[in-house]
Amino acid sequence: MRNIDHYIGGGAHAAGDRHSDVFDPNNGGVQARVRLGSDADLQRAVDAANSALPGWAATNPQRRARVMFKFKELVEREMDSLAHLLSSEHGKVIADSKGDIQRGLEVIEFACGIPHALKGEYTQGAGPGIDVFSMRQPLGIVSGITPFNFPAMIPMWMFGVAIACGNAFILKPSERDPSVPVRLAELMTEAGLPDGILQVVNGDKEMVDAILDHPDIKAVSFVGSSDIAHYVYRRGVAAGKRVQAMGGAKNHGIVMPDADLDQVVNDLTGAAFGSAGERCMALPVVVPVGDKTADALREKLIPAIEKLRIGVSTDAEAHYGPVVNAAHRQRIENYIQMCADEGGELVVDGRGFTLQGHEEGFFIGPTLFDRVQPHFQSYQEEIFGPVLQIVRADSFEEAVRLPSDHQYGNGVAIFTRNGHAAREFAARVNVGMVGINVPIPVPVAYHSFGGWKRSAFGDINQHGMEGVRFYTKTKTVTQRWPDGSVTGENAFVIPTMG
Ligand code: NAD
């Protein structure tokens, strides 16, 4: 059995006897065991980070950026093998794994421009003989705790920016698919990053708590489900850390009567069922405005859903693969039953799907519900599977209200040909990321990613300039170089520039 170790101080660290199974979702078998670390493993990583930090923080930003350039080259070189490794533990199809890696690499590309992004501000002559300037300094040791569903992209969202800013980064990836994060850390070493600047500690709640409580760790970035995000936020902030904690989602796609329904169906099937619905920016709720729109949409959706091909991750023709493990598949099936019990009309039922030759794999067919009501628990909660719920709205106003009132506020999309409606919607909807005829509005790397309400705790988003702000502290210097003549009447009064 292959063991997945920690990556500490530039090499594998194989201590501890607690493990968790890592499955191959395509066949349901255990393919590896990942170590679940303890306080002692974290301390080892913190010690290595503390030794490496002064040198890295003092390295000029252009040299730090060169490591990012080289890392990008190495990841591109290994794209195929990384994508296969990712798919074998996560279950998403190879092309989608490449997308996962590529979206992370785009943040690395942003980080290549860190010399520019780190420049401070300067005011000459803010007062008589006085200049003011600011600089962005790294925080020190920072940490990221990541979910299973984007094991390449989300770690890179975090460590790309944090390391380029001059910090040391300790990553605690999901214990369900930890191999790609470890491999990325090895590639950073190969790219020239000093040992101790990017480390991976594997583990579960015990390791997360150790990170949250460690006094040398100055900031924690978390992405995962909302209850845990809230917990991480509270405990990390109570320990005096800077914390950003992204949570779950239930994104709505609003379909106006004037939308191009063929385009909508095409976009929706990809956004609802791609990656088996295991995306925080999936579109698991569609809100057609008016019964006529709803009936026409439903009529086009059914055959499109029935045509979807579910296959193993390496099947190049498959639209999506298995979900991550058996417990998650069971959870999704429970939600399907709940929605039916609540009165949803089960139009396509994906339960009981098996793939010939892969009967033990964690597959689940696509599911479609119509006439889902806002008071259903199955609507209010995140299912995180290949399940699409149609919630019919009577008017544009109701369509704005549904995502605005929902507990989650990650992403939302509107499909329409009416620019005024789209503009109104974008301005009024109470959600953090909006797509206009774009089903998965994940902002590009040089903008920032973050939801609202229970989709994010804390106030600074991931990557882009928000990421730079999260991983640096601003120091502002007010300077005067006296010419020898004594000034300073009113020295006992708060100085003003008036
Ligand atoms: P999860 O919350 O189960 O796990 C996330 C991380 O928290 C993992 O590293 C895990 O080891 C750790 N963890 C798990 N249980 C813990 C506990 N009790 N105490 C402390 N730490 C714990 O999430 P997941 O199932 O890996 O990922 C899916 C979730 O992540 C979905 O809710 C999805 O919407 C969300 N997500 C959100 C975003 C976003 O940016 N908003 C992006 C991707 C995924």
| Tens-place pLDDT, residues 368-390 | 999 999 999 999 999 999 999 99
pLDDT at res. 487: 65
For the CA of 456, the nearest atom of ligand 1: 41
102: left (phi over 0), alpha (psi -120 to 50) or beta: alpha
Q: Other C-beta atoms within 10 Å of 485: how many? A: 5
Distance separating alpha carbons of residues 33 and 21, to the nearest angstrom? 5
Q: Report the distance separating Cα 171 and Cα 150, nearest Å.
A: 14
pLDDT band for position 401 (cuts 50, 70, 90): very high
280 is catalytic: yes
pLDDT higher than 80, residue 9? yes
Q: Are 183 and 85 in contact (CB under 8 A)?
A: yes
For ligand 1, atom 38, name the residue with the nearest CA. Answer: 280
Counting atoms of ligand 1 from 1, which one is nearest the CA of 148? Answer: 26
Contact 70, 109 (CB under 8 A): no
Q: How many percent of the chain have pLDDT more than 70?
A: 99
Q: How many residues does the chain have?
A: 498
Residue span(s) of the chain under CATH 3.40.309.10 come to: 252-436
How many whole angstroms from 281 Cα to the centroid of ligand 1? 14
Ligand 1 centroid–CA 50 distance in Å is 28
Q: 353 C-alpha to center of ligand 1: Å? A: 26
The yes-or-no verdict on residue 128 having pLDDT over 90 is no
Task: Write out the residue limits of the CATH 3.40.605.10 domain(s) in the chain.
Answer: 2-247+455-476
Whole-angstrom CA distances from 235 to 139, 230, 249, 461 are 19, 9, 22, 19
In this predicted structure, the answer to whether residue 166 has a pLDDT above a threshold of 70 is yes
Please state the separation of Cα 353 from the chain's center in Å.
Answer: 29
Query: Which H or E run contains 261?
Result: helix 261-273
Mean per-residue pLDDT for 13-24?
A: 94
SS3 assignment for 268-281: HHHHHHHHHHCCCC
Closest protein CA for atom 19 of ligand 1: 205
Q: Give the Cα separation of 270 and 283 in Å (integer).
A: 9
Structure tokens at 209: 């708590």
Q: What is the mean pLDDT of the chain?
A: 97
| CA-CA-CA-CA torsion sign (250, 362, 3, 20) | positive
Question: Which is the closest atom of ligand 1 to the Cα of 328?
Answer: 25
pLDDT given for residue 37 in this prediction: 97
The DSSP bridge pattern shows strands 411-415 and 168-172 to be: unpaired
**% of the chain surpassing 90 pLDDT:** 95
Residue 221 identity: S
What ipTM score was computed for the predicted complex, to two decimals?
A: 0.99
pLDDT band with cut points at 50, 70 and 90 for residue 399: very high
Find residue 447's DSSP bridge partners. none
CATH code 3.40.309.10 for 252-436: yes
pLDDT at 489: 64
439-457: per-residue pLDDT in tens? Answer: 999 999 999 999 999 999 9
Is 52:60 a contact under the CB 8 Å cutoff?
no
Closest ligand 1 atom to residue 462 Cα is 40
Residues facing residue 408 across a β-bridge: 453
Residue nearest to atom 10 of ligand 1 (CA): 174
Among 18, 23, 149, 463, which residue has the most ligand 1 atoms within 8 Å of its CB, making it the best to mutate?
Answer: 149
Give 482-498 pLDDT, tens digit per residue.
Answer: 887 766 666 777 777 76
Ligand 1 centre distance from Cα of residue 473 (Å): 27
Q: Which atom of ligand 1 is nearest to the CA of 176?
A: 26
Q: What local confidence, expressed as pLDDT, does residue 492 receive?
A: 75
Q: Tell me, what's the pLDDT at 16? A: 83
Nearest CA to ligand 1 atom 8: 174
Ligand 1 pocket, Cβ-based, cut-off 6 angstroms: 145-150, 172, 174-175, 204-205, 208, 223-225, 228, 246-249, 280, 382, 384, 410, 451, 455
Distance from residue 448's CA to the centre of ligand 1 (Å): 20
The closest-lying atom of ligand 1 relative to the alpha carbon of residue 232 is 20
Nearest CA, atom 23, ligand 1:
224
Fold for the domain defined by 2-247+455-476: Aldehyde Dehydrogenase; Chain A, domain 1 (3.40.605)
pLDDT of residue 488: 62
Give residue 148 CA to ligand 1 midpoint distance, Å: 7
pTM of the model: 0.97
* Identified catalytic residue from 112, 165, 280, 339: 280
CA distance 250 to 378: 11
The SS3 assignment for 284 reads: coil
Question: Residue type for 301, please?
Answer: L
- Structure confidence by residue, pLDDT tens digits, 234-288: 999 999 999 999 999 999 999 999 999 999 999 999 999 999 999 999 999 999 9
Q: How far is the CA of 80 from the centre of ligand 1 (A)?
A: 26
The answer to whether 270 and 253 are in contact (CB under 8 A) is: no
